[in-house]
Amino acid sequence: MTARHLVIRVLALLSVLLGANYVVWRWLASVNWEAWWIAVPLVIAETYSLIDTFFFALTMWRARERPAPRSAPQGTADVFITTYNEPVEMVMATARAAVRIRYPHRTWILDDGARADMARAAQAAGVGYITRTEDWVGKPRHAKAGNLNNALLQTDGEFLLILDADQVPHPDILDKTLGYFADDPEVALVQTPQWFVNVDDADPLGSQAPLFYGPIQQGKDGWNAAFFCGSNAVLRRDALMQLGIVGYVRSLEDSLTSALRAASRMLQRAAADRSAPPELQRELSELQGVVTAARGEVAAGAPIGDVTYRVQAAIHEASRRLVDRDLAGMNADLAAIGELPVQRDAQLDAVVVDEGGLDALAVRELSPLGAVAAVDGLLAALRVDRPDEAQPLQPLATISVTEDMATAMQLHALGWRSVYHHETLAEGLAPEDLRTMLTQRLRWAQGTLQVLLRDNPLTKKGLDAGQRLMYFATMWSYLSGFTAVVYIAAPVIYLLFGVLPVTAWTVDFFARFLPYFLVNQILFVVVAKGLRTWRGQQYSLALFPVWIAACVSAFRDVVLGKSLNFVVTKKDGRASGGPPWRQIWPQLTAMALLAVAAVVGLVRVALGTADGTGTLVNTVWVVYDLAVLSVIIQAARYRGFRPETAALDERQDA
């Protein structure tokens, strides 16, 4: 352990302990219950922040700076360049750079837009070209995950380098990453940073993420939880195919479990019908016992085919016995009908059957096969070829609009390992206007929250405790939009109306809060080690409307069934219109309220109607909030990156 790592651990431990001391005191001794409507949300927000501190400290506890792999690169490789509607020349610049990768490989353009000009350009450059097969017509497309899954079944490289259309790879990217797979046969993924060349030092849109593609990924790597980020990553084909097979089997298991559960309910209701003949009730009860036993066998891991065969055989046997009984009953009914007294109606010139005899026949059970036939239909509907999907195997996860994190988490749950290689080996293009950036961040947040709601890491089988917490920490961070509203509202309410969310600004408050705050900031500075992280801190708060919208839309998608749309990030070097005022009005409104509150607070102090200490504390709070939110103004005015464009094109084609 290095001295720096030891310092980080000491600061991490102190940060959590001091934070716990502060938050416990807040709950027990300083909540102003007379103003509970703001006091309780504030202390909840502070509790959220303490948990966030814990996750960050835990991540940094095992931060790992990996040495280069010991083994030489080996194995066959395919390079996948995913594209939908990006400019053809952009895609070809990436493809030409991919062709120049030194390690032997094949380069493929995966064109989800099926464009004729893209196909011609790929053919002219000698690059492989793959688009969706006819099997995908009328079936769920699963966005980028579907594009990759389609290509997986049409190629055979042992390792896959996945690149977005704008991510220009260095010639040595495979030389520097494939050795990890040879070092450890359980490694399924090697992720490298994403770095953008069309971003200046000011980085007004917060595109560079040096803290994430650095200390945070290194910290997750220490817990074997560094995850796939969608591009600039190498994956082992065998691991993905195993994931596809396991997913296929689990899908069948889930379908069979649901069918058996529904069958059990139908049989139970049918057997409870006291008007049914005793023979039918007995047959249905026995069949329900067979279904119940089958559910237990599936839960115990019995082969799906064997279980299905036994249940269907029992159903067919019961059906045959009931048909025999029905036929006998039908013959008896015909005989009874033949014995009914009849007479001719002279006026109608028709034969009239005695109504009393018809009433007696109507109450008889003439067709007891309905429930059994329904159960048989449920099981017959189980299809091993998954006709609802374009292909039975879906190696990359399709449960989210962002396939990367979900796929990595499932690989980890199967026992595979991941590596974070901290070296820029590809360079891409970031969004060049605020509107596009907001759309991109919304999709990232939506995808992450979809995974949380559909496949919660805290309850996912196969993950160890560290992996559960590392994945959950990333998902947890997107809930910060709600706490941001509270952190903005609290000082505004105090400065405007004098409503205090704490009992008093006492020495106890400052003695607990200031050490916690200062140690937390020192930990952040030591971890960052000179990295420019202020933009990331700003956007974690300034994008609070995006995080809230992501929570709401992901909930509507997963729980209410209202599907999300996958929007490809525009990266064509052109800003999309003027500032997106309709998308940033919450931030602008918050800034106006904060500014007005600061002025009103100072006026109230001057008039002697406000507490000086409280006003000072909340004014400093307001100034900090305004400094954070000011990035939105700068981003709205940003018109895109212009310098060095020619140099970039020259570098791509060199």
pLDDT band per the 50, 70, 90 thresholds, residue 547: very high
Q: In this predicted structure, which of 103-107, 243-247, 550-554 has the lowest mean pLDDT?
A: 243-247
pLDDT > 70 fraction of the chain, expressed in percent and rounded: 86
Q: In this predicted structure, which of 424-433, 563-572, 628-637 has the lowest mean pLDDT?
A: 563-572
Question: Amino acid letter at 59?
Answer: T
CA trace torsion 461, 464, 469, 474 (10° rounding)? -70
Q: What is the pLDDT of residues 399-417, one digit of tens each?
A: 888 889 999 999 999 999 9
pLDDT band per the 50, 70, 90 thresholds, residue 588: very high
CA–CA gap between residue 301 and residue 243 (Å, rounded): 18
Average pLDDT over residues 139-150: 94
Cβ-count burial 273-289 (b if 16+ within 10 Å, e if not): eeebeeebbebbeebbe
Q: Is the pLDDT of residue 559 over 70?
A: yes
Q: In this predicted structure, which of 211-215, 381-385, 580-584 has the lowest mean pLDDT?
A: 381-385
Average pLDDT over residues 610-632: 94
Predicted confidence at residue 402, as pLDDT, reads 84
Q: Is the pLDDT of residue 344 over 70?
A: no
**What is the greatest pairwise CA distance in the chain?**
113
pLDDT band per the 50, 70, 90 thresholds, residue 564: confident
CA–CA gap between residue 449 and residue 409 (Å, rounded): 14
Q: Is the pLDDT of residue 651 over 80?
A: no
Fold classification of 77-245+390-432 (topology level): Spore Coat Polysaccharide Biosynthesis Protein SpsA; Chain A (3.90.550)
Predicted confidence at residue 647, as pLDDT, reads 46
Q: How many helices (H) and strands (E) does the chain have?
A: 22, 12
Predicted confidence at residue 251, as pLDDT, reads 78
Q: What is the pLDDT of residues 171-224, one digit of tens each?
A: 999 999 999 999 999 999 999 999 999 999 899 999 999 999 999 999 999 999
Residue 344 parent element (H or E): strand 342-345
Q: Where in the chain is the domain with CATH 3.90.550.10?
A: 77-245+390-432
Give the orientation angle of helix 304-339 with respect to helix 370-380, to 10 degrees.
150
CA–CA gap between residue 309 and residue 380 (Å, rounded): 10
| Three-state SS annotation for 569-612 | CCCCCCCCCCCCHHHHHHHHHHHHHHHHHHHHHHHHHHCCCCCH
